[in-house]
Amino acid sequence: MKTKYALVVDVALTGNSLAYEFVNRGYRIINVYSSKKTFQKLYKSLNNTMYETCLIYESDEQLRMDLEQYNIVCCLPGSDYGVPLCNHLIELFGLGVNNTLISDRYEVLRTVGEDVTDNNFDDFLNQYKKCVVKPKVSHGGYDRVRVVESLDGVDTTDMFMMPYINGDEYVIDTVSINGKHKLVSVWQYAKQNGFWREKTVLLDYVGNEQLIEKLYEYTCNVLDKVNYVVGACHTEVIIEDGTLKLIEANFRTHGHLDYATSFKILVQSQIQLTVEAYMGDEIPFTDLRPIYCKKANMERINLVNNRERKYSQYPWQQFSKLPSFSMTFQHYSFYENIPVSGKTLESIPGEVILVNIDQEQLTKDEQEIYRLCNE
């Protein structure tokens, strides 16, 4: 039987988890970088032991030549950067049904009816007084996101603007097959000062049934409006005075969630369901109730740094000794100095995932992380 290959475009943390699951199911993986620029941004994230080869896209003709010896059966994004090229390659190689042709956050928000602009920044800011400036396509998270009340010193190239919304923010993770959307999990961002995320918490289904159902129905409506047919989505929504507002829809799996942890915390992981969605027959989901089953409590803590330090001076080793420790995502390399943390994802040292059935122990470990960071 001819070996099956999956193309994963612009692999970052998300793409590595997908690659693990594909390999475990007998597939081989090829990573395609959409440009030299994305290669330079993302190559440090690549777990290269899992990939048959890595290519940089230059032209359709060149990529056809590079891939002609492989039996390519599917293509999916390995990060937000990979969505535009992934959509193109699905059409180029005839890899199943066309998915959403929307490849940036601005177009998604505009399509579902949110008030956004990518040109009249001064007028828009005068109208709302306080706004958020975001890149149309990014690596994810808070990459180059800024809250502004003035455009002084703000580079708006390839950016868009939306009103600042103050409310409770949630993440809804889904997987779609044949245009039917299955709920995988719901998360809440715990914030400081109304904007910066202190941590991300996996919500219990029990006790939050009405909230989860409301978020799921809203997310399905968003996905239907952009004609999302197959694959994962990571949707962020704020509830302000009872009204749901779309912040962004990312057509990929949940970021900064490693492969092993995803199976520790949920009976059905988004990684598992996403790979199944691309494996062939696209059997529709039979159970679309907004229900999921949690195996353990999980929090992802955004680390902070209160003074400039060398990499070796940061308490990485102490984190790994905590009873609830599962994973650390480090944003800096051993040869770099770690700056004082700001309110951007790029400026913090990294993120720690804590997993524990015992919520009391998990909370103790969270407080210990904050203590260690501020020593």
DSSP conformation letters of 124-154: HHHHHSSEEEEESS-SSTTTT-EEES--TT-
Interval 226-270: pLDDT, tens: 999 889 999 999 999 999 999 999 898 998 888 999 999 999 999
Q: Is 255 strand, coil or helix? A: coil
Tell me what pLDDT residue 234 has: 94
Residue 143 has pLDDT above 70, yes or no: no
Q: Which helix (H) or strand (E) holds 27?
A: none
Whether 10 and 87 map to the same domain: the answer is yes
Could you report how far apart the first and last alpha carbons of the chain are, in Å?
58
Residue ending a domain, among 262, 291, 320, is 291
pTM of the predicted model over 0.85: yes
Residues 241 and 308 in one domain: no
Claim to verify: residue 175 and residue 272 sit in the same structural domain: yes
Which amino acid, one-letter code, is at 303?
A: L
Domain limits for position 30: 5-92
Is residue 100 one of the residues assigned to a domain? Answer: no
CATH number, position 217: 3.30.470.20
Q: Whats the size of the chain, residue-wise?
A: 375
The residues facing 352 across adjacent strands are 301, 328
Do residues 28 and 128 both lie within one domain?
no
User: What CATH number did the domain enclosing 147 receive?
Assistant: 3.30.1490
pLDDT at residue 140 is higher than 70: no
Q: Does residue 271 share a domain with residue 249?
A: yes
Strand 28-33 versus strand 51-56 pairing type? parallel
Mean pLDDT of 140-159: 82
> Which whole-number Å values give the CA distances from 54 to 29, 33, 124, 299, 321, in the listed order?
9, 8, 42, 33, 35
CB 245 within 8 A of CB 237: yes
Q: Which of 97-101, 188-192, 245-249, 276-280 has the lowest mean pLDDT?
A: 97-101
Quick one: 114 and 131 in the same domain? yes
**186 and 139: one domain?**
no
Same domain, 254 and 316: no
Residue 98 covered by a domain: no
**How many whole angstroms separate alpha carbon 185 and alpha carbon 204?**
9
Give the mean model confidence (pLDDT) for residues 7-25: 89
Domain end marker among 163, 189, 207: 163
Structure confidence at residue 195 as a pLDDT band (50, 70, 90): low
The runs of H, that is alpha helices, within 93-208 are 105-111, 121-128
Backbone phi and psi for residue 233, each to the nearest 5 degrees, phi listed first = -145, 145
CA dist., res. 269 & res. 262, Å (int): 6
In a domain, 141, yes or no: yes
Q: What is the CATH number of the domain that holds 39?
A: 3.40.50
Q: Are strands 51-56 and 72-77 parallel, antiparallel or unpaired?
A: unpaired
197, 285: one domain: yes
Same domain (yes/no): 84, 47: yes
pLDDT tens for each residue of 292-317? 999 999 999 999 888 899 999 999 99
Number of domains, the chain: 4
Would you call 3 exposed, middle or buried from its count of C-beta atoms within 10 A (0-12, 13-18, 19+)?
exposed
